[in-house]
Structure 1
Amino acid sequence: MTDVSPHELAIRMAEMARTMAQDRTLDTILTEVTSAAVELIPGVDTSGILLIKPRGGFESLAGTSDLPRDLDVLQMTFEEGPCVQAALADTIVRTDDFRIEQRWPQYSPAVQKLGVLSGLSFKLYTGDRTAGALNCFGFRPTTWDADAESIGSILAAHAASAIIATQQEQQLKAALLSRDRIGQAKGIIMERFGTDDVSAFGMLRHLSQEQNTKLVDIAQQVIDTRSN
């Protein structure tokens, strides 16, 4: 990786912004982000994205090689490391040399065995459901400068925006599906019991409260009775 001029950086960022405005998959956008990290940040040899789920588990996405996932596995196993710290706490976590890094006594020696000597992680503001980080690693000790942190922060913002947009799309689809199920269930109740729309919804809501079950799940149960 060679240094890029401000003009080249501006062009690359504009290209990524246009990509996000197009109908592209989340995987495609995140892959472009991690590839750009390797291309634009001097000292970065591989990059990936870690998403941590609130109820346990994680996803390792868009790695430019298999190494980022291996490093994510180590961090989740040891419950320590820069990516986890960036995802859950700090905005930027930097390690210029893992050989002298003291914050993660299990993780630091392990990554050296994999040939990684430096790292730079950026928190992804992905909303309430997930915590994430854009993670960059180098095979040599690297003194990360302000330019590296600035570029990484911009790339992390691109990645976070793509993740949030995908989450919102999924939530919208779920909401529409729920509305359709409730509508179907109301129609079944109206036909079966000769009630109006308001009364049918009231019956669904009463069953939901009585059984301490989500309204959409009660609606699905009603729909299922029609096919039995």
Structure 2
Amino acid sequence: MSTTSQDASDLPGEASGTSGAKDLAGQLGELARSLQAEQDFEATLATMVHAALDLVPGAGHASISVARARRTIECHAPSSPLPATVDRLQEEHREGPCLDAAYAEKVVRVPDFGDERRWPSFAPAALGAGARSMLCFQLYTSGEELGALNIYGTGPEVFTAESEEVGLLAATHAAVAFADAQRIQHLYEALATRDLIGQAKGVLMERYKITAQQAFLLLTTASSRTNLKLRDVAEQLTTTGTLPTTNR
């Protein structure tokens, strides 16, 4: 009696599912390595966006939004003009999926802007701008500043449960990289500010033959009297040669 054997690669279900999971794990691993290799803040965000476009089924456009106190929204690394337009509309109407994802929910799914009722002012405007569907993932919350990864569908009803699951995994990797990139950016900004203030002190020391402490006192006095940040006072002095006009 003969027996018929079947190759494991021909078996449906578990084998193909395992292969797909391995492919996704490999892609996410590659994303993590790419994010770790980036040193520039905007380059890190662009890597996140491109990865989301590659990984999430149905994705057509993507971006990262940074919202502050529900008043302003900054669009970073948009893959096309659409995300920047949608962020501007959310800021204008003070409502929308990115804001909800950033402030209230981990994931916000918009199957079809044509049937959307959660944002009566924003949704029709977004539809008119060309947005048909969206997935928004919360990246981080830090005080009044919050971030979201936004993925725009190629049409209505294109996102599935798999799209949401894969997007959430990608957003989890992106959130860690985003936090690291922000810390590095803040460090660079702090160093740049320190150098700028040092240059401004040097200008005053040379001009008035005073000590470093006296020069710093002049800068802080100008800052308090003009209600300008110390960095802005130092920048004006180093670029124009004059201190801001004091308001007594």
TM-score by length of 1: 0.72
Query: Structure 1's 157 and 107: CA in aligned 2 closer, same or farther, altered over 3 A?
Result: same
| Correspondence 1:84 to 2:108 | no
CA distance in 2 between partners of 1:194 and 1:181 (Å): 18
Unmatched segments (≥5 aa) in structure 1: none
Deviations along 1:129-152, one digit per CA (max 9) or x if unpaired, are 63221111220214642x433322
Q: Could you tell me which of 127, 134, 141 is aligned with 2:157?
A: 141
How many angstroms apart in 2 are the aligned matches of 1:201 and 1:133? Answer: 43
Per-residue deviation at 1:219? Answer: 6.5
Secondary structure at the counterpart of residue 45 of structure 1: strand
RMSD over aligned CA atoms reads 3.8
1:37 corresponding residue in structure 2: 52
Which residue identity lines up with residue 157 of structure 2 in the other structure?
P
2:181 is matched with: 166
Q: Which moved more, 1:60-69 or 1:130-139?
A: 60-69
**Percent identity between the two aligned chains:** 35
Q: Which amino acid aligns with 1:140?
A: P
Distance (whole Å) between structure 2 residues aligned to residue 108 and residue 93 of structure 1: 14
2:61 corresponds to 1:46: yes
TM-aligned CA deviation for residue 222 of structure 1: 8.3
Which structure 2 residues correspond to residues 172-183 of structure 1 after superposition, within 5 A?
172-180=187-195
Q: What is aligned with 1:125?
A: 140
What is the total number of aligned residue pairs between the two structures? 221
Residue 16 (structure 1) shift = 1.2
In the alignment, the residues of structure 2 paired with residue 112 and residue 215 of structure 1 have an alpha-carbon distance, to the nearest angstrom, of 44
| Counterpart-to-counterpart distance in 2, 1:215 and 1:115 | 43
Encode CA deviations 1:86-114: one digit per residue, 9 max, x unaligned.
12332211123333321111232334445
What code does the residue aligned with 1:108 have?
Answer: A
- Matched residue, 2:73: 58
